[in-house]
Structures are given as structure tokens and as C-alpha cells.
Amino acid sequence: MELTPEQKDIKNAAREFAEGEMMEIARELDEKQQFDERLWQKAADLGFLGVFVDEKYGGAGLGYLEHSLICEEFARIDCGIAHAITSTFFGTQLISLIGTEEQKLKYLSSVCKGEAKMGVAITEPDAGSDVSSVKTTAKKTDSGYVVSGNKTFITNANRADFLIVLCITNPEAKKKYDRFSTIIVETDRPGYEASKLKNKLSIRCSDTGEVAFKDVEVPKDNLLGKEGRGFYNIMEFLNRSRLEAAGLGIGTAQGALEKAINHVRKRKQFGAPLADSPIVQTKIAEMATLVEAGRSFLYSTSAKVDRGELDHALIAMTKWYAAEIAVKVSDEAIQLHGGYGILEEYDVSHYWRDAKVLEIFEGTKEVEKLIIGRSLLGR
């Protein structure tokens, strides 16, 4: 599909920012497992945060396609930095969908302007792909709720100013899926504790942590959506947030492809550049075709969501495929580098490391395939 002039400008601006601000410090941040918050602030100043959020609430009033373009260009340089930036408004999709007017004004504006960071707390030690096994509770009080439980693999556990937490509010509900609600929990409330998960394979500079809610009291106004609709809220959220993961996948694949092309043009073996080898040429052709197909998939699906055409199976296909080609293309990029591919100084191995997590978070590739199969077969 053809991008509009405005969309091309957004894509070019994101590329310019990524190349100018991320490239020189990406490997240092990856090695130190730290993020430079100045990058987030600059991204906010340039209007890259939550572009799909309505202008009334601090966003740019654009769409998920524009957001996908930004994710792609950021991840082309470094997926870890890209994730550290885009994750700060991870959850604005849900607030935009079901939040009250007061919640939208309070939370969306501050996040889009770079005044606050957020996250979404779903996963628990015994509840990963099986979201309905979440055990964190939110017991009702006269003034609100008391949240108790533990979460793990939570992005921005140590950075966020508030989290959207999936928890049990209606344990007596007959249907298992009707027991959950989504509640906003500010991280400065007494009883909130977080610790950082270190030495990850992927997105090392992005904060991932464990969270303990030790009888955290929140007011009733922090309920996001209706009681008993939490599970369904999260499913609707994932149907939009998976496009972000797909954008990161396409950007990661594109970055790895460019590294491979640059290397085989320069590297000589058997008296000639690797680029002269028919085997290398076919590998590059296959890699480029996968990336272009994935990009078309991403743009088309994002545009459909912007038109209100929400196809759960199509979104799952897009995320699964984008993550898979990110792994495949980055793997081939390392292979084309030979022994140099496993050396960090050649700046290519991180693409594979970062790509791998894309097949896991936002729904594993196995879960994505289940969504697709059940949708097509009416199960």
C-alpha cells in the first residue's frame, strides 16, 4: 500500500531521530542493561509518544499505522531502545477504549507529553499464556479496592508511574472469565514493591521486573472499565498492542537485512566480494522478500484497524509473521557474517537476540496460531 505524504514524513522523522540519537549509544545501553531517559524525553518532545491517542488527550490524533511506522524505524536501529520508549505508553490503547473522561484526561495527557510512564501488569509466576489463571486480587472496600498479589515479566515495573493491573474482583462469578477487572495502580502507593529482572537475552536496556502488591489501597475511581470485564478488556487491548510488536519485528528484520547487505558487499572470500556469490545473492533475495511481505502485512492490518475493521485472526497473523521473519532474517544476517556475526563489535547479533522475545511477549507464536486456527475453523 502507498503511504500518504504525511505518513512518509513521520516515517522519515522517526528514522532521522533513531539514527541521530540511538545509534551511537545503543550497544552501551545494551551492555549496561540501562536506559537513558533523555531518549524518552526527546521522543516525547518530538511527538512520537502515543500518536494514536486523540488530540484532546495529548496525542497526535493519528492512527495505529503511524505508530507502526515509528516502531519500525526505531527498531531498525535497536529494538531494546525502541521498546523502552514505546512501552511508556503501553496501555493507553485500553484507556482510550474504555476509560472514563476523567481517566483519559488524567492519565493519557501526561503519558503522551512525556510527563509520566505507564505499563500493564498481567503476567504472573503461574499465569503466562493462560491469562485466566491470574491470582492477584482486588478486594472491595468502602472507598475502593485493596490489591494483593505478585506479577512477573512486567515492563516498566521500576519506571512506571502507574500500571493497569489485571486482578480478580468477582471470585464468585460462575464464568471464570467474568471474575476479573482492570484497575489502575499508581506505583508510589504504600505496598507497591518492584525489582528488576537482569541478564535478559533480549531488549536488555528495557526495564522488565517483578512486582509485589502488598495490600495496595486504590480509590474506586481507579477501576478501568466495568467490574467483571477485565479479561475481555485485556483481549481487546492485545488486539491493538500486538501491532506494536509486529512493528518492532519488521524494524528488527530490516536492520539485520541492511547489516547483512553492507557486510557481503565489503567482505571478500575466494578472491571476490561475497556479494558476487550466487548463494549469497539468493539468501539476500529471500531475506528481502520476507521483510517486504511482512511490511505489507503490517501496514495493511494497521490501516484496517484504523478503519475500525478489527480482525483478531489477521492481527494474530501479522504479529506472528513479523516476529518469525525477524528471527529468520536476523539469523541469516549472522550466518552471512560468518564468525564475525557472533562478535558484538559487528553490531548484528543483537538483532537476533532482540527478535527472539517478539515470538514470546504479546502472545507467544503458539497462542497466535491458536487464535488464527480457532477463528478460521469456528472453534
pLDDT digits (tens, 9 = 90+) for 278-287: 999 999 999 9
Please list the active-site residues: 362
The pLDDT tens digits for 209-227 are 999 999 999 999 999 999 9
Q: Are 99 and 125 part of one and the same domain?
A: no
At 153, which CATH number? 2.40.110.10
Cα 204 to chain centroid, rounded: 14
Q: Distances in Å between the alpha carbon of 248 and those of 8, 51, 177, 261, 366?
A: 18, 16, 30, 20, 19
Instruction: Answer yes or no: do 330 and 251 share one domain.
Output: yes
pLDDT higher than threshold 90 for residue 53: yes
Could you give phi then psi for residue 16, rounded to 5 degrees? -60, -45
Task: Supply the pLDDT for residue 41.
Answer: 98
Same-domain status, 239 and 340 = yes
Q: Given this model, what pLDDT does residue 376 score?
A: 95
The pLDDT tens digits of the residues spanning 1-17 come to: 899 999 999 999 999 99
**What local confidence, expressed as pLDDT, does residue 379 receive?**
86
Share of residues in the chain with pLDDT > 90 (%): 99
Q: Cβ(191)–Cβ(218) under 8 Å?
A: no
Closest CA to 76 of 330, 300, 299, 361: 330
Q: How confident is the model at residue 87 (pLDDT cuts 50, 70, 90)?
A: very high
Q: What is the pLDDT of residues 149-172, one digit of tens each?
A: 999 999 999 999 999 999 999 999
Q: Which one-letter amino acid corresponds to residue 317?
A: M
Instruction: Write the CB contacts of 204 (distance below 8 Å, at least 6 apart in sequence).
Output: 29, 30, 31, 33, 80
Q: What is the pTM of this model?
A: 0.96
Average pLDDT of span 79-83: 98
**Do 139 and 244 fall within a single domain?**
no
pLDDT at 1: 83
Q: What would you report as the CA-atom Rg of the chain, rounded to the nearest whole angstrom?
A: 21
Count of domains observed in the chain: 3
Categorize the per-residue pLDDT at 42 as very low, low, confident or very high, splitting at 50, 70 and 90: very high
Q: Which domain, by its residues, includes 347?
A: 232-377
For the stretch 224-266, pLDDT in tens is: 999 999 999 999 999 999 999 999 999 999 999 999 999 999 9
**Is residue 291 domain-shared with residue 156, that is, in the same domain?**
no
Q: Which of 207, 229, 251 is the last residue of a domain?
A: 229
Distance (Å, rounded) from C-alpha 275 to C-alpha 268? 9
| Sequence-separated (6 or more) residues with CB below 8 Å from residue 228 | 169, 170, 173, 178, 179, 180, 181
Last residue of a domain, one of 69, 86, 112: 112
